[in-house]
């Protein structure tokens, strides 16, 4: 067992992990942060996306031990300080960017990383960025709209619905 220490959603946490323990398992099982979801075993679906030192990472591709000393942000830490939804979360609700909710944490975390990198992405750029996040419910339409809206862009200008 290896002792790991990291800052998760602003709080210092530590735990003893096996060498094979994935960051996703550490967050879910050890820290009880079950908002990070496991949707596949090949790092394709993106339901487990978190931020490690500010970078979007599929937490099933990283060992917990590798995140020792890192700053990790998960979906549970995204809301505003007063508990209200942040801009991206609110846009997802306003534009019906989620249905069953399972892919949603990964989508929100990926969207946050995208907008940090590219504050005014085009529709095509949003779609390309979401290559690593699979949603089976929404057909992506409203997710794309939500991310565009969260970036302050004119959503009605997108194709008619």
Segment interacting with another protein (CB under 8 A) among 51-59, 65-73, 114-122, 131-139:
131-139
Query: Strands 71-73 and 2-8: what pairing?
Result: parallel
Q: For residue 17, give the 3-state DSSP assignment.
A: strand
Q: Based on CB atoms, which residue is closest to another protein, 70 or 91?
A: 91
* C-alpha distance from residue 101 to each of 4, 50, 83, 97, 127 (Å): 30, 16, 19, 9, 19
Rounded to 5 degrees, φ, ψ at 51 are -105, 130
Using rule CB under 8 A, residue 35 touches another protein: yes
Candidate residues 38, 52, 65, 87; the one interacting with another protein per rule CB under 8 A: 38
Report whether 115 contacts 152 (CB < 8 A): no
Q: Interface residues for another protein in 52-111 (CB under 8 A)?
A: 74-76, 78-79, 85, 89, 92-94, 96, 98-105, 108
**For residues 43 and 21, what is the distance between their CA atoms, to the nearest angstrom?**
15
Contact string (CB under 8 A) for another protein, positions 108-127, x = contact:
x--------------xx-xx
- Applying CB under 8 A, the residues found at the interface with another protein are 18, 20, 28, 32-42, 44-45, 47, 74-76, 78-79, 85, 89, 92-94, 96, 98-105, 108, 123-124, 126-128, 130-131, 133-144, 158-161
């Amino acid at each position: 067992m290896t002792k790991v220490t990291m800052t998760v959603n602003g709080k210092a946490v530590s735990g003893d992990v096996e060498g094979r323990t994935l960051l996703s398992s550490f967050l879910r099982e050890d820290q009880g942060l079950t908002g990070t979801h496991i949707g596949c075993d090949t790092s394709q679906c993106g339901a487990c996306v978190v931020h490690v030192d500010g970078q979007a990472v599929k937490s099933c591709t990283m060992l917990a031990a590798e995140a020792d000393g890192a700053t990790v942000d998960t979906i549970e830490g995204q809301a505003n300080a007063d508990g209200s939804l942040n801009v991206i979360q609110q846009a997802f609700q306003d534009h019906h960017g989620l249905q069953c909710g399972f892919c949603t944490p990964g989508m929100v975390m990926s969207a946050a990383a995208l907008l940090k990198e590219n504050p005014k992405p085009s529709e095509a750029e949003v779609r390309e960025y979401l290559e690593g996040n699979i949603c089976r419910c929404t057909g992506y339409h409203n997710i794309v709209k939500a991310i565009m809206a969260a970036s302050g862009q004119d959503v009605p200008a997108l194709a008619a619905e």
